[in-house]
């Protein structure tokens, strides 16, 4: 198992942009002090087995607890390197009676409705506004308005569990929060003085130097869970702050799984099962299982099919809960990260305001689709704007901030997944994934191996309701055989129309002067037919024509050079449509 800490490296960067190195500094990515053991006799009492297992690996194992799947968690005397702990697990796997053993790795934060909502108006206190949330609308956005147009305020709200650092009491969010749980069992990282309970509030995940391990740097609190939850469910149309994708129709159930130094994968796995409605010892069963789980977190290593993590995800999906996860922020193949590479999840990459893959985002065959996550490499306002807290250690005043990361892309997709349950309450997780992928639109920039395209909320809800999505417009094909014929002061230009989706043709002209030099091209007309007549001419000319529509324009088709006299007919009618003759301008 892996310890999870929201993908916060290059992902969760507040308004003051941090470097990737600074954001990553001090994160104990390769250390853990816990091992998970699953015995052949499931639900066997693991406490009396600790001394025997300790002798096998030469380390004193301390019994911690049983997981909700019947595995046993043991603690080592101190945190050790991941390869070392995996070595202990391998030795235990060779022991009679042990079915499975693995390092309990640490995970990390990855980091009719009114349209636009009233957040689109500036308010007196200068709070951020919906217009700054580029990630919802525009060419690089995920089309939140397209979804809102298909919803009604009378629709029954749905639920999304956010497994993260917990929540802070932000007035632009708290109305859309419902009771959650704190799954962090270890008081050393919980920072709230106790273990598991029903208080999912975020006390802060700040750390002093050397707290996580010898040499770890100090860090301020990230309030990662509050930011993620705001994207999903910030109170919308309240003339304040930011809007949430859910437009008040999504309730967030906070599940605190990350604390100081990150969080254990075994805690996360129990959080997954709790949110999906399974009984977890020592905690009350959730009153209403969630439709979607958002996990903006991850760690290194491929997701093993028999891991505690994967088994918990399988149980959630079996309970009809969709699991949406971050692809990761390492600019690497997501197949080497968890939960990004787990089966039965929707793995989300991140794009920036240009529509290109964000520089930090993971990619690969494990990725299902992309969503806006921000790219603040050159602009501090090019991240995802959401709710936050102003405290550097403990909670203080509420605030808003731009963060970037696949942590920020994931809640966009999780929110849309939840809205699909409004349009079709009987939809299954497999159908949710199929709809999100089938409705994704072409990524406007460059994002290789980013799944099936860019998240499109409007398209997704249309498909879930049984509608059809019109194909995205594509630029038309270029004309061919452009030919210019001269008469007295007149040129008639004709061409073959090779496309059936253009809305018009643009014609440009270049002229040769007495020194046999050509002028630049200038537009002389736009027509809807495949011919054009140019008048009042005297000299040597060349023409070019292109098709265009709302999606863009085609390449140019070039005519022959043509000589025109304003007193007599005739001219150079030779030359092909793609050849520039004599001293004509270079074809482009």
CA-nearest of 47, 151, 161, 32 to 84 is 32
Average pLDDT, stretch 346-365?
Answer: 96
Same domain, 448 and 514: no
Would you give the DSSP letter of residue 219?
B
Give the chain's domain count: 3
DSSP, residue by residue, 228-259: HHHHHH---SSSSS---TTTT-EEEEEEE--B
Rounded-to-integer distance, Cα 132 and Cα 85, Å: 46
Q: Which range has the worst mean pLDDT, 80-89, 174-183, 311-320? A: 80-89
From the candidates 104, 111, 164, 202, give the one annotated as an active-site residue: 164
pLDDT digits (tens, 9 = 90+) for 445-465: 999 999 999 999 999 999 988
From the candidates 407, 494, 554, 559, give the one annotated as an active-site residue: 407
Rounded-to-integer distance, Cα 250 and Cα 248, Å: 6
- Residue at 572 is within a domain: no
Sign of CA dihedral 214, 219, 221, 226: negative
pLDDT of residue 383: 92
Distances (CA, A) of 124 to 131, 133, 300: 16, 19, 45
Rounded-to-integer distance, Cα 324 and Cα 510, Å: 55
Average pLDDT, stretch 64-88?
Answer: 91
Work out the burial of residue 91: count CB atoms within 10 Å of its CB; fewer than 13 is exposed, 13-18 middle, 19 or more buried. Answer: middle
Which residues, in sequence order, are bridge partners of residue 219? Answer: 207
- Residue at 19 is within a domain: no
Annotated catalytic residue 137: no
Three-point CA angle 347, 352, 353, nearest 5°: 140
Q: What is the largest CA-CA distance in the chain?
A: 110
pLDDT of residue 378: 86
Coarse DSSP helix, strand, coil percentages of the chain, rounded to the nearest 5 percent: 20, 25, 55
Same domain, 101 and 122: no
Instruction: Please give the helix or strand (H or E) that residue 309 lies within, else none.
Output: helix 308-318
pLDDT of residue 218: 93
Q: Which of the listed residues 464, 490, 507 is the one where a domain comes to its end?
A: 464
pLDDT digits (tens, 9 = 90+) for 387-431: 999 999 999 999 999 999 999 999 999 999 999 999 999 999 999
Average pLDDT, stretch 363-391?
Answer: 93
Could you give the angle at which helices 224-233 and 406-423 cross, rounded to 10 degrees? Answer: 40
pLDDT of residue 342: 96
pLDDT digits (tens, 9 = 90+) for 481-512: 999 999 999 999 999 998 888 999 999 999 99
Rounded-to-integer distance, Cα 294 and Cα 247, Å: 17
Q: How many CA atoms lie less than 13 Å away from 341 in the CB half-sphere?
A: 20
What is the span of the domain harbouring residue 83?
Answer: 27-105
- Residue at 370 is within a domain: yes
DSSP, residue by residue, 154-181: TSPPEEEEEEES-B---TTTGGGB---E
pLDDT of residue 131: 79
Same domain, 405 and 440: yes
What is the CATH classification number for the domain harbouring 74? 3.30.70.260
- Residue at 518 is within a domain: yes
- Residue at 422 is within a domain: yes
pLDDT of residue 540: 94
Distances (CA, A) of 434 to 366, 417, 439: 15, 11, 8
CA-nearest of 46, 112, 36, 113 to 76 is 36
Same domain, 81 and 128: no
Assess whether pLDDT exceeds 50 at residue 569: no
Find all residues with CB under 8 Å of 95, minimum gap 6, and list them.
53, 56
Q: Which of the listed residues 53, 77, 105 is the one where a domain comes to its end?
A: 105
Same domain, 79 and 193: no
Q: Which of 109-118, 174-183, 234-243 has the highest mean pLDDT?
A: 174-183
Average pLDDT, stretch 238-262?
Answer: 94
Which residues, in sequence order, are bridge partners of residue 111? Answer: none
What is the CATH classification number for the domain harbouring 490? 2.60.40.10
pTM: 0.76
What is the CATH classification number for the domain harbouring 452? 3.40.50.200
Q: Are 313 and 4 in contact (CB under 8 A)?
A: no
Assess whether pLDDT exceeds 60 at residue 349: yes
Annotated catalytic residue 412: no
Rounded-to-integer distance, Cα 567 and Cα 263, Å: 87
Give the model's confidence band at 270: pLDDT under 50 very low, under 70 low, under 90 confident, else very high: very high
DSSP, residue by residue, 21-81: HHHHTT--TTEEEEEEEEESSTT---TTTHHHHHHHHTS--EEEEE-TTS-EEEEEEEEEE
CA-nearest of 440, 458, 460, 459 to 450 is 440
Sign of CA dihedral 454, 444, 140, 447: positive
- Residue at 178 is within a domain: yes
Work out the burial of residue 282: count CB atoms within 10 Å of its CB; fewer than 13 is exposed, 13-18 middle, 19 or more buried. Answer: exposed
Assess whether pLDDT exceeds 50 at residue 582: no
- Residue at 200 is within a domain: yes
Same domain, 287 and 207: yes
pLDDT of residue 13: 31
Give the model's confidence band at 10: pLDDT under 50 very low, under 70 low, under 90 confident, else very high: very low
pLDDT of residue 28: 44
Same domain, 162 and 244: yes
Same domain, 438 and 494: no
Provide the mean pLDDT of the chain.
87
pLDDT digits (tens, 9 = 90+) for 91-139: 999 998 999 999 998 888 865 454 556 665 544 455 567 778 999 998 8
Annotated catalytic residue 426: no
From the candidates 135, 224, 227, 412, give the one annotated as an active-site residue: 224
Same domain, 97 and 143: no
Radius of gyration of the chain (CA): 30
As a residue count, the chain comes to: 588
DSSP, residue by residue, 268-297: HHHHHHHHTT---TTSPPPSS--SEEEE-E
Same domain, 161 and 290: yes
Find all residues with CB under 8 Å of 586, minimum gap 6, and list them.
580
Same domain, 554 and 460: no
Same domain, 83 and 126: no
- Residue at 574 is within a domain: no
Q: Which of the listed residues 464, 493, 515 is the one where a domain comes to its end?
A: 464
């Amino acid at each position: 198992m892996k310890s999870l800490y929201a993908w916060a490296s290059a992902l969760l960067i507040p308004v003051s942009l941090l470097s990737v190195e600074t954001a990553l500094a001090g994160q104990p990515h390769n250390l853990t002090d816990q091992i998970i053991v699953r015995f052949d006799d499931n639900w066997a009492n693991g406490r009396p087995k600790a001394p025997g297992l300790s002798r096998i690996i030469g380390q004193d194992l301390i019994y911690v607890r049983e997981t909700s799947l019947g595995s046993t968690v043991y603690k080592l005397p101190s945190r050790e390197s991941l390869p070392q702990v995996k070595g202990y697990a391998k030795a235990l796997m060779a022991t009679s009676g042990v079915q499975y053993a693995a390092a309990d790795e640490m995970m990390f934060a990855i980091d009719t409705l009114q349209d636009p909502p009233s957040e689109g108006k500036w308010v007196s206190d200068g709070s951020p506004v919906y217009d700054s949330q580029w990630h919802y609308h525009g060419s690089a956005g995920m089309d939140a308005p397209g979804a809102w147009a298909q919803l009604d305020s009378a629709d029954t709200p749905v639920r999304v569990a956010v497994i993260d650092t917990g929540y802070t009491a932000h007035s632009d969010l708290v109305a859309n929060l419902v009771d959650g749980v704190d799954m962090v069992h270890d008081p050393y990282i919980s920072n709230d003085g106790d273990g598991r309970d029903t208080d999912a509030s975020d006390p802060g995940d700040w750390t002093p130097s050397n707290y996580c391990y010898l040499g770890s740097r100090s860090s301020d609190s990230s309030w990662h869970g509050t930011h993620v939850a705001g994207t999903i469910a910030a109170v919308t149309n309240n003339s304040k702050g930011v809007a949430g994708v859910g437009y008040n129709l999504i309730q967030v159930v906070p599940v605190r799984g990350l604390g100081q130094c990150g969080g254990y994968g075994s805690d996360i796995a129990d959080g997954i099962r709790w949110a999906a409605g399974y009984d977890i010892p020592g905690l009350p069963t959730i009153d209403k299982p969630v439709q979607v789980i958002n996990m903006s977190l991850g760690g290194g290593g491929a997701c093993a099919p028999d891991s505690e993590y994967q088994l918990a995800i399988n149980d959630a999906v079996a309970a009809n809960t969709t699991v949406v996860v971050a692809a990761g922020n390492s600019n690497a193949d997501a197949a080497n990260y968890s939960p990004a590479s787990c089966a039965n999840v929707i793995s989300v990459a991140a794009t920036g305001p240009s529509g290109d893959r964000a520089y930090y985002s993971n990619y690969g065959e494990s990725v299902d689709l992309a969503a806006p996550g921000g790219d603040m490499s050159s602009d501090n306002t090019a991240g995802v704007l959401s709710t936050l807290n102003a405290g550097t250690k403990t909670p203080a005043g509420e605030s808003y901030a731009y963060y970037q990361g696949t942590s920020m892309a994931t809640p966009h997709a999780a929110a849309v997944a939840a809205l699909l349950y409004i349009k079709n309450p009987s939809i299954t997780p497999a159908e949710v994934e199929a709809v999100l992928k089938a409705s994704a639109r072409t990524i406007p920039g460059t994002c290789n191996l980013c799944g099936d395209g860019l998240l499109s909320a409007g398209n997704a809800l249309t498909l879930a309701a049984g509608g059809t999505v019109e194909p995205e417009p594509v630029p038309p094909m270029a004309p061919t055989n452009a030919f210019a014929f001269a008469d007295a002061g007149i040129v008639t230009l004709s061409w073959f129309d090779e496309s059936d989706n253009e809305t018009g043709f643009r014609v440009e002209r270049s002229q040769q002067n007495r020194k046999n030099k050509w002028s630049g091209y200038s537009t002389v007309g736009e027509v809807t037919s495949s011919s054009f007549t140019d008048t009042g001419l005297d000299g040597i000319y060349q023409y070019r024509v292109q098709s265009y529509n709302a999606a863009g324009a085609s390449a140019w088709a070039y005519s022959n050079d043509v000589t025109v006299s304003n007193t007599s007919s005739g001219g150079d009618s030779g030359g092909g449509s793609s050849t520039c003759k004599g001293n004509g301008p270079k074809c482009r």
